[in-house]
Amino acid sequence: MASSELTTIPGSLEHVRIQALPSSAFYIAEFITIDEERMLLEKIETAPKPRWKQLSKRRLQTWPSDLTNNTLLDSPLPKWLTEPVITRLLTLPITASKPDHIFSESPHGAPNHVLINEYLPGQGIMPHKDGGAYYPVVCTVSLGSPLCLDIYGTKDDGSREAEPKWKILQEPRSLLITTDQIYADFMHGIANVTDDVDLGSSTVANWDLLRTSSNIQNHRSERRTRLSLTYRDVLKVSKLGGTLGSMFGKR
């Protein structure tokens, strides 16, 4: 079997910590297989048209639904989003000495929400923080094409520094987990460029954790269509209750 048909799941997250960054970010190059990537791309592509929300610079799907006032209406994620990604995530201990996983202490013990962003070459996302609606862990599965996530520091007045402090190269089929300071204190964004440039061991924070650097020529990686699935636990979940609930057979 070719190695590209396999995943490479570490014994614990400590093995895949991005050492060059403040705490904490983890990168697993081969988190899903080529077949699993193909299945996810197919499900995303064949989702009903109204699932896509078109923004000026990119389009996205929200599963199971958009938040209203930072609150998620209780509803399960479809199986193709839980299996294999969430099941695999929940078997991954943070350290070898304890079984605790990255969502062990989150309110629902697992992600309950997935945002799917699509980036064509030249598209990106403005630097931002993910804010207070979520438990502060983001798990991002990348599909299709490599691309760089830029991490920015903020100044004392809260505004962001002009240049990114670090770059994280996200390969297709990889998992990136960001939490702690990287979640709370730094901003992240994706430049709207057609090529990621200046890539090397001194500029890419997760260089040593990459699956391959063979797509990088002259320190450059050309973008193709990239999709990301960001898994999070939304803190506030509301049940469809009261009269409306009983109309739908809830008690």
Ligand X SMILES: O=C(O)CCC(=O)C(=O)O
What is the contact surface with ligand X in residues (CB under 6 A)?
115, 117, 125, 130, 140, 149, 188, 228, 230
With CB cut-offs between 5 and 8 Å by kind, which of Fe ion, ligand X, none does residue 228 bind?
ligand X
In this structure, are strands 236-238 and 71-73 parallel, antiparallel, or unpaired? Answer: parallel
**In the complex, which residue's CB is closest to ligand X?**
228
Write the DSSP assignment of 1-25 as a string of letters: --GGGS----SSGGGGB-TTSSS-E
What gap in Å lies between CA 204 and CA 149, rounded to an integer? Answer: 10
For the chain, the farthest-separated pair of C-alpha atoms sits apart, in whole angstroms, at 63
Name every residue whose Cβ is closer than 8 Å to that of residue 19 and which is 6 or more positions away in sequence.
Answer: 208
Tell me the closest approach of the beta carbon of residue 109 to ligand X, in angstroms.
22
Instruction: Measure Cα distances from 166 to 20, 58, 239, 241 in Å.
Output: 9, 23, 41, 46
**In the complex, which residue's CB is closest to Fe ion?**
130
Q: How many residues bind Fe ion (CB under 5 A)?
A: 1
Question: Contacts with Fe ion in 119-138 (CB under 5 A)?
Answer: 130
What gap in Å lies between CA 75 and CA 108, rounded to an integer? Answer: 13
Tell me the closest approach of the beta carbon of residue 239 to Fe ion, in angstroms.
27
Tell me the closest approach of the beta carbon of residue 120 to ligand X, in angstroms.
13
- If one asks whether residue 115 binds Fe ion (CB under 5 A), the answer comes out as no
**Which one, 61 or 117, has the nearer CB to ligand X?**
117
Nearest to 195 by CA among 215, 174, 180: 215
With CB cut-offs between 5 and 8 Å by kind, which of ligand X, Fe ion, none does residue 221 bind?
none
Tell me the closest approach of the beta carbon of residue 191 to Fe ion, in angstroms.
14
**Which one, 12 or 123, has the nearer CB to ligand X?**
123
Residues lying near Fe ion in the complex (CB under 5 A): 130
